[in-house]
Structure 1
Amino acid sequence: MVRRTVDLRSDTVTKPSDVMRAAMAGAEVEDDVLGFDPTARKLEEEMTRMTGKEAALFVPSGTMGNLISVLVHCEVRGSEAILGDNSHIHIYENGGISTIGGVHAKTVKNNHDGTMDLALIRAAIRHPDEELYFPTTRLICLENTHANSGGRCISGEYTDQVGLIAKEHGLKLHIDGARIFNASAALGVPVQRLVQAADSVSICLSKGVGAPVGSVIVGSKSFISKARRLRKTLGGGMRQVGVLCAAALVGLRDHAGRLQDDHRRAKIFTEGLRQIKQLKVDAESVETNMIFFELKESLKSSPEVFCEILQEQGVLALPTSDTCVRVVLHHQISDSDVSYALGSIKRAVAQIAGEVDQ
């Protein structure tokens, strides 16, 4: 019989705390589409303060936040955005920038740490004399932390360099900052410093912050004015949205400052995985709350089967490739949960290894 459930599929799986539910129930609300919801305004003001930008806008999801941001910067159909070939916008957002916005994606190879070589970014920019044949480059996109690189952090110094390239060529810089609070905690650097060079940032509230719904995009006042109109066009204008923003405010207050605990547990988890000889994990790549580990060929199991066996023990994880499994720590995972999950993984490996021996 399963004793407990330890959900490590993502940091999006958290449930609203009792304090969040109380804040949601008691939230002061009005019509946000008309611009009068006081709790939404409070959240947006807090995000402008934390990021050092002029204005902010609550949106239902990070995917919509990224889409709106790209479309604001690339108003002319046939524009081009430079982004990583392993980035969330390129891989996991349904190709929305092209199918909805008519924006062409120019991909640059992501390095192991989530960055892109500066020389390759420069080389990807179209020159004005090429406009007869090619799309017009208008935007560069970064992702921090970089999820498909294991939650690696992008430094402020690197972002500054990309920002300088953008300015030199009259381009805009957008940061998909879904887990920017994790980057801030891991690097010991304020969020404002990490996004200083960006013209816009999308920040998820339902990941490390632990809110049930929503993201916020930040930028200049003119950027947010255009973004508000696009939010309405895309069906993202909601009415008494303060009930959601109230939960996000609690998350910012109670959870964002404790992300180091998630990172500490991730390192403990990683060390435990390193002790299992049939598994392979790159400990150096574990900087925040995400861990990717590989099943060695000798184990003779697919990640799908491995995760099914784990689920029987109440541990939920995600297969991400033919050889790899991902686990993500969050504020509702305790030290005890980490120990239990590691024990379950050891038992799963032993069970599969025993079947192979037979």
Structure 2
Amino acid sequence: MEINLISDTVTKPSAEMLQAMFNAKVGDDVFKQDPTVNDFESKVANLFGMEAALFFPSGTMANQTAIKLNTNPGDQIICDKWSHIHLYEAGGASFNSGVNFNLLDGHRGMITAEQVKNGINDPEFYHAPLSKMVGIENTTNKGGGACYDIETLQEIKQVCVDHNLKYHLDGARLWNALIAKKQHPKQFGALFDTISVCFSKGLGAPIGSVLLSDAETMKKALRIRKIFGGNLRQSGYLAAAGIYALQNNINRLEEDHRRAKELGAILQKLSWVAKVEQVETNIIIFSVQPSIEDKEVIEKLAQKGIAISLMAKGTLRMVTHLDYKEVMHTYVLETLEKMAF
């Protein structure tokens, strides 16, 4: 039995999703003539109560487009030091948009309104970059799937309004936050200037993210997507997977969260585990005792057919997903309980 807990990006389309893709009506999306893509974008925009949406090949490209839309070269983005747009997008913000970051020391990847307010540069002090955008990641990847309270996001929004800052949400795993916190997409649509949401993680589609904003901003996004090489032709086959995911794979995220919490509970009982971060969604972050090498744990689990990842030195990660079934879960729990060093 091969069990992959490296990420929720490893899932493959189900037979039902593949059938939906096979049956898709398609056209040329570069001319905005693909009916399935148009339907998909409309569905996502309506779900968030926003005016328009645009389908992207990846979440990184969607985020990079948002940065380009919300900033000018020389500007500064305020975000947590663990933000994906800073750590895991290959320096794209500087390469594509010529901006830099004011990195805040938040809690598990989450920042507060007070931190944002204190991080804003005086716009009259021309020696410093002009603070222009606040970036939020929800759930936080490196923070172990932690979720923001909506009240905190509302407080940060007010700071953005008061200081004329754009407000972007990297919602790669927002679906997990919505389920865990019992929130609604329209709550987020009412707050943010731009939102990116991913369909190839928790929702199990093979590819794709969607960027949302007002109609005028998304008209500009269409040009930036072209510049970045993100235009696709008969992409309705891919959008059909997104539509299927929207209709079938959101509520089932509760199963991933339950299994993740059960894995976290087992790890907390093991003598060779030093610390387990609080598990809120589908990501489990843990560290082992100083006498044990990270690679020892990874190799021993690999021998049992279980793959996990190294998040950073001293930090290991497991991620549950829709291809991680109950029979696999039982096996992993039993294997962890029996492991010794």
Give distance in 1, aligned partners of 2:157 and 2:38.
29
State the partner residue of 1:356.
Answer: none
Q: How does 1:240-279 map to 2 (within 5 A)?
A: 240-279=234-273
Report what 2:118 is aligned to.
123
User: 1:236, 1:333 → 2: CA distance?
Assistant: 31
- Which has the higher mean CA deviation after the structures are superposed, 186-195 or 18-27? 186-195
Q: Indicate the residue corresponding to 2:226 in structure 1.
A: 232
Matches of 2:179 and 2:6, distance apart in 1? 21
The runs of 4+ residues in structure 1 deviating greater than 6 Å are: none
Gaps of 5+ in 1: 354-358
Which secondary structure state, in structure 2, belongs to the residue aligned with residue 292 of structure 1?
A: strand
Q: Which of 49, 52, 57 is 2:49 aligned to?
A: 52
Q: 2:276–2:287: 8 Å Cα contact kept in structure 1? A: no
Aligned to 2:159: 165
CA distance in 1: counterparts of 2:185 and 2:271, whole angstroms: 38
Q: Distance in 1 between matches of 2:263 and 2:326?
A: 9
Measure, in 2, the Cα distance between the counterparts of 1:73 and 1:323.
36
Of 26, 29, 49, 1:32 maps to: 29
- Unaligned ranges ≥5, structure 2: none
Residues 303, 321 of structure 1: 8 Å contact kept: no
User: Are the aligned partners of 1:184 and 1:194 in contact in 2 as well (CA < 8 Å)?
Assistant: no
The match for 1:137 is 131
The CA distance in 2 between the partners of 1:157 and 1:260, in whole Å, is 23
Q: With structure 1 as the length reference, what TM-score do the two structures score?
A: 0.92
Percent identical residues: 35
Distance, in Å, in 2 between the alignment partners of 1:128 and 1:279 is 48
Is 2:299 the counterpart of 1:304? no
Report what 2:65 is aligned to: 68
Per-residue CA distance 1:133-177 (angstroms, 9 max, x = gap): 122111111010011111001121111111110011111100000
CA displacement at 1:195 relative to structure 2? 4.1
What residue in structure 2 maps to residue 336 of structure 1? 327
C-alpha distance in 2 between matches for 1:140 and 1:244: 31
Shift of 1:205: 0.5
Question: How big is the alpha-carbon RMSD for the aligned residues of Structure 1 and Structure 2?
Answer: 1.3
The secondary structure found in structure 1 opposite 2:55 is strand
8 Å CA contact 2:267–2:276 kept in 1: the answer is no
Q: Distance in 1 between matches of 2:260 and 2:124?
A: 50
Contact between 1:78 and 1:103, CA under 8 Å: does it hold in 2?
yes
The aligned amino acid for 1:212 is P
SS in 1 for 2:312: coil
The CA distance in 1 between the partners of 2:261 and 2:111, in whole Å, is: 26
Q: Give the TM-score of the pair, scaled to structure 2.
A: 0.97
Q: 2: CA distance between counterparts of 1:32 and 1:197?
A: 29
Spell out, residue by residue over 1:260-308, the C-alpha distance to the aligned partner (whole angstroms, 9 max, x if none): 111111111111222212113436x2000000111112xx332223212
1:60-112 deviation line (CA, Å, top 9, x unaligned): 111111100011011x2111111111111110111101112101212111213
Contact 1:156-1:195 within 8 A present in 2 as well: no
| Amino acid in the other structure paired with 2:227 | T
3-state SS of paired residue (2:142): helix
